[in-house]
Structures are given as structure tokens and as C-alpha cells.
Amino acid sequence: MLALGGAACDDEAHFHFLAPPGGSTFGGAPSAGGGAPRSGGAGPLGGEGGAAGAGGSGGSTAASLLLHRYDFEGEGTTAVDRVGDADGAILGGATLTGTGELLLDGVDDYVALPPRLVSHLPAVTFAAWLTWESEPSRCWQRIFDFGNNDAETPGDAGLATSSVFVTPSNCGAASQDPPHVLTAAREVVGSVQWVRTSSPLPVEEPAFVALVFSDVDERFELYLDGELVAGEGVRPAMSLADLDDTNDWLGRSQWIQDQGTFLRGRYDEFRIYRGALSPQELRELARRGPDAP
């Protein structure tokens, strides 16, 4: 299942999304300074019809819409943005080792990207190549979670007040929801929307996960290995402009209840596109794999 909205919790509190507490928001996620030289994207994918761009849909290619790209090459604790200027900080003890992968231990490792990466867009596609190395019963880990919470200290978790995320395996958001399935969600104060698959993300297998959220084309869709697995015909109940993406995190949840479930796995690449990629373009991304923008 894919859910759009606030971060989910390990128990019923995770699903108290319709009336999250108010309170102060906290500062943006840290951004590492400097960074290696950035390279532009490769040639267009040539998908039919093009993806939704900043001003509308059609006529653009995936390569031209690529806004941020993290390939996890090099060494150290900076996730370099190879396309834009939004380098991220690798925290919790994880580090790049020159292998082109980022290993997260599932204890306290995560990546903090700079704030406000997507809320100014009318449409966005999140794309992640990763290998999940956990058990589905260890639910509410995060592939990514962009949003904010009511913690008083910047960088802490709390109760989510705004969030868009994908989890490899949920714990069931309500009595009618099946647990342990790939889920995406988006939440703002007073509203939550979910889309869900019928199984968890495969374990110990490389996977390509993408989430399309478009105000322009009215799409809220979850893709696995280039195929639509949840959200067909679902219209977003909220706008990206409603998202308070102060904390743009890979591998960590906004919810304090989830702080024992950081992602355990390996990222090969993470991208953000400033538009809603078409199904054809997402199939092509899955075919080409990471490191081929």
C-alpha cells in the first residue's frame, strides 16, 4: 500500500493524522557545505508525451525535469547533488565509502537534505533505487519522509504535522488496513491520504520505487520497478503547496514513535523531478537503472 500524508506510527497514535497537534515547527535539515563539482543530466529518455513540467504537462523529457540527483559516489558524509545545489548531510554515523552506495544501519543513520525542495512545485516525482535489508514486521521505516513535526528542537522527531512519505512496510493505519505492505502517504493538518499495495517491498532485492504527486495532472501514484502498483485514478486531496517540507529526510520518519525504525538498507540513487513523469518514462527509468540519468 502506498499512503500519502503524515508519517505513520508504530501503533494507533501513528494514525491520528486528521487532527495532529499544533505547536512550533523546527528549523531546516542541515545541509553539508561545499561538495564536488556537479554534472548535468544525460540525454532525454524520449518517453511518449513527456512528463508534467512546472507549468503544465507534455512536451518535456525526464532528463530536462531532473531537479536533484544523489548518486552516493565518493567518500565522507556529504550526499552531493549532482544536478542542483542541494547537498545533503549523512548523519548517525553512516558514511560514503567509494562504492557508489550508502549503507544505513537501521539504528540512527539517515540523510538530511536541505528544506523546501518540493513544496514550491506544482508536481513532483520522487525516485529511489535501493535494497531493503530488513524484515517486513519491522514496519514504518522510511524510504523518504519530507515534512515537519511539532518537536521544539530542530532535527528532532515529534508528532507529524505535515508529511509525504513512502514506507517499505506499514503496520496498518486502521483496523481495516492490511499490515506489512508497501505504502505511501501525505498529510497536512486535518487531512490525510493513503495509497497502498498488497505486499511489502521485497527484501534483499534491488528495487526501484517512485512516487508521483501532481496538482497539474491530478495524479497520486506509487510505482515499483516501473509498474504502477497503487493509486490508479486517485486524485490528490491536497496540494504540494500545503506541504511544510522543513525536514527532507531519507531513511527517517517525522514521527517520534518511529525512531526505533530507521531504514536498514542500501541506497544506490535518489532523485527528485520537477514534474509528474509519465508511466512510459518511469518504465524507462526502471529499465536503465541508477547512474543513467
Domains delineated in the chain: 3-32+47-288 (2.60.120.200)
Q: What is the 3-state secondary structure (H, E, C) of the chain?
A: CCEEECCCCCCHHHHCCCCCCCCCCCCCCCCCCCCCCCCCCCCCCCCCCCECCCCCCCCECHHHHEEEEECCCCEECEECECCCCCCEEEECCCCEECCCCEEEECCCCEEEECCCCCCCCCEEEEEEEEEECCCCCCCCCCCEEEEEECCCCCCCCECEEEEEEEECCCCCCCCCCCCCCCEEEEEECCEEEEEECCCCCCECCEEEEEEEEECCCCEEEEEECCEEEECCCCCCCCCHHHCCCCEEEECCCCEHHHCCCCCEEEEEEEEEECCCCCHHHHHHHHHHCCCCC
pTM above 0.75, yes or no: yes
For 100-145, what is each residue's pLDDT tens digit?
999 999 999 999 999 999 999 999 999 999 999 998 889 999 999 9
Per residue in 43-80, pLDDT (tens digit) is 333 333 333 343 334 435 899 999 999 999 999 999 99
